[in-house]
Every structure is written in C-alpha cells, then in structure tokens.
C-alpha cells in the first residue's frame, strides 16, 4: 500500500468516525445517514465550485458507481455475494 493510499484510508476513517459521532451506527442508522448525506452533499458542492448541477453529475456519474464497486469488492473479500 502506497503512502498516499494509506493516508487516504486514514482520512476516510477519520471522516467516518466524525460522521458517526459516537453514535451506534446500527441502532442510530437514520441519524448517522442524515449526517452522511449532509457531508457528501457538502463535499460534492465544494468539488463542483458550488454548482448543484455539477455536484449532481459528480454523484450520479462518479460517486455512486464507484461506491457500488467498492462495496462489491468488500463483499468479495468477505466471501459474500455482490
């Protein structure tokens, strides 16, 4: 694993812990998901220079397919179906 990949994983872990915020992500899933939605929308808007149309394209054409790929990879590593 490259240093850049390791640091990116660390940033993702820190962001997840901040979004979860000490809550139980299973029993308090709706509240955690609302915070996640806020965080993702904020990052997409920042990356799109505050243009909601571009942010929506980033989400549907970039983020969503990549999330599907990442979750399928985790399922494969865990021996489950994707």
pLDDT tens, residue by residue, 5-56: 999 999 999 999 999 999 999 999 999 999 999 999 999 999 999 999 999 9
**Which pLDDT value is given to residue 80?**
67
Residue that has been written with the tokens 């000490």 in this structure: 22
**Domain contains 31:** yes
Task: Quote the number of domains for the chain.
Answer: 1
Alpha helices in 1-82 (DSSP H): 3-20, 29-47, 52-57, 64-77
What angle, rounded to 10 degrees, do the helices at 3-20 and 29-47 form? 130
Which pLDDT does position 24 carry in this prediction?
Answer: 99
As a whole number of angstroms, the longest Cα–Cα distance in the chain is 40
pLDDT for position 11: 98
Domain range for 27 is 3-74
pTM of the model: 0.84
- Whether 80 maps to a domain, the answer reads no
- Is 82's pLDDT higher than 80? no
Is 46 inside any structural domain? Answer: yes
């Amino acid at each position: 694993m490259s240093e850049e990949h390791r640091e990116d994983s660390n940033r993702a872990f820190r962001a997840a812990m901040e979004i979860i915020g000490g809550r139980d992500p299973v029993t308090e899933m709706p509240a955690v998901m609302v915070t996640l939605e806020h965080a993702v929308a904020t990052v997409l808007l920042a990356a799109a220079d505050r243009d909601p149309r571009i942010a929506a394209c980033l989400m549907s054409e970039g983020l969503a397919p990549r999330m599907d790929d990442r979750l399928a990879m985790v399922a494969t590593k865990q021996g489950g179906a994707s």
